[in-house]
Amino acid sequence: MNAATSLPSGWEHRVATVDGIRLHYVEAGHGPLVVLLHGFPEFWYAWRHQIPVLAGGGCRVIALDQRGYNTSDKPAAVAAYRLDRLVDDVVGIIRAAGEDSAIIVGHDWGGAIAWSLAMAHPDAVRRLVVLNGPHPRRVFEEFRTAAQLRRSWYVFFFQLPWVPEWLIRRGNFRALDLVLTRDPARRGAFTAADIAAYRSAIAQPGALTAAINYYRALFRSNPFRLYHALRPIDCPTLLIWGERDRYLGRDFTEHLEPWVADLRVARIPEASHWVQADAPERVN
């Protein structure tokens, strides 16, 4: 048993089936629904610092293991990880919780899903909070620059078959250990127990390939279809950005006003891409 399986009092492991996919999540608290969406290569435990604050503040919190991650189902087909299907999972989780809408919080890939959900299903999103997850419009713009292409080298590497999985698995997921110890701006942002929990989650059968398939599915998607799916977002939106992000430049926080009407940007200079672990008090 590790830190992610032994839950504090009042937190519960739950499962919902959405379009035939079993999705695991952790639930805590009572009140307005808040759905937390993790990024790569994380799982529900990415929100360990936020769950007690939100639940203690009068919210019902669902921290989701998105499809492919940890103990959620892992469809084999790359197409199963298309952005529209990931968005539909979140809509299904909201409905399975007996609600029509929720406050949506997403980091990294979870942020991409959160932005897309707010555009495709605006009635399902009461408020939106995104952490170090670029708006899709800005992705189209910034990926034309050499600086961002260099930062995003791994996205292209992940298009290779089996090689990324082999490299990440080497040495009992040594690459994961290195990322979680060297990337954060705050020493000890991920403890040894945290890293062990992450390693256990990504070592679940099929989980690593499923996580990488998010990137493979994105590359196989029709860019014109993705671009024409962009819509303005009207709900109150908070974008939190750790400015010491090695992967996503600060420019992603700019020029968003035409696309997000009610936007507040909170930049945290002392935080990295792993902003909710680096600066949990500021994020909370």
70 in Cβ contact with 44 (< 8 Å)? yes
Q: What is the tens place of the pLDDT at every residue in 157-186?
A: 999 999 999 999 999 999 999 999 999 999
Residue 6's pLDDT is 84
8-state DSSP, 51: H
Residue 2 counted as domain residue: no
User: What average pLDDT does the segment 44-65 reach?
Assistant: 99
* 1 occurs within a structural domain: no
Number of residues assigned to the chain: 284
Number of domains in the chain: 1
Q: What range does the domain containing 112 cover? A: 11-283
- Across the range 99-116, mean pLDDT stands at 99
Q: How far apart are CA 150 and CA 154, in angstroms?
A: 9
On whether residue 45 sits in a domain, the answer given is: yes
pLDDT (average), residues 112-126: 98
Checking if the pLDDT of 95 tops 80, the result is yes
Q: What is the pLDDT of residue 1?
A: 54
pTM, rounded to two decimals: 0.97
pLDDT higher than threshold 70 for residue 210: yes
Is residue 216 within 8 A of residue 81, CB to CB? The reply is yes
Q: Which residues are catalytic?
A: 108, 215, 273
Average pLDDT for residues 90-115, to the nearest whole number? Answer: 99
Kindly report, residue by residue over 213-268, the tens digit of the pLDDT. 999 999 999 988 898 889 999 999 999 999 999 999 999 999 999 999 999 999 99
The pLDDT of residue 73 is: 99
CB atoms within 10 A of CB 80: 17
Evaluate whether residue 6 is within a structural domain.
no
Q: DSSP H helical segments within 158-206, as ranges?
A: 163-182, 192-202
The residue type at 128 = L
- Residue 274 inside a domain? The answer is yes
Token pair 């950005």: residue: 241
Residue 243: which CATH number?
3.40.50.1820
Q: Assess whether pLDDT exceeds 60 at residue 83.
A: yes
214 domain residue, yes or no: yes
Task: Scan for tokens 């690459």, then name that residue.
Answer: 175
Q: For residue 121, is it within any domain?
A: yes
Q: Residue 156: is it exposed, middle or buried by C-beta count within 10 angstroms (0-12/13-18/19+)?
A: exposed
User: Is position 27 within any domain?
Assistant: yes
Q: 55 exposed, middle or buried (CB, 10 Å; 0-12, 13-18, 19+)? A: buried
- The per-residue pLDDT of the chain, averaged, comes to 97
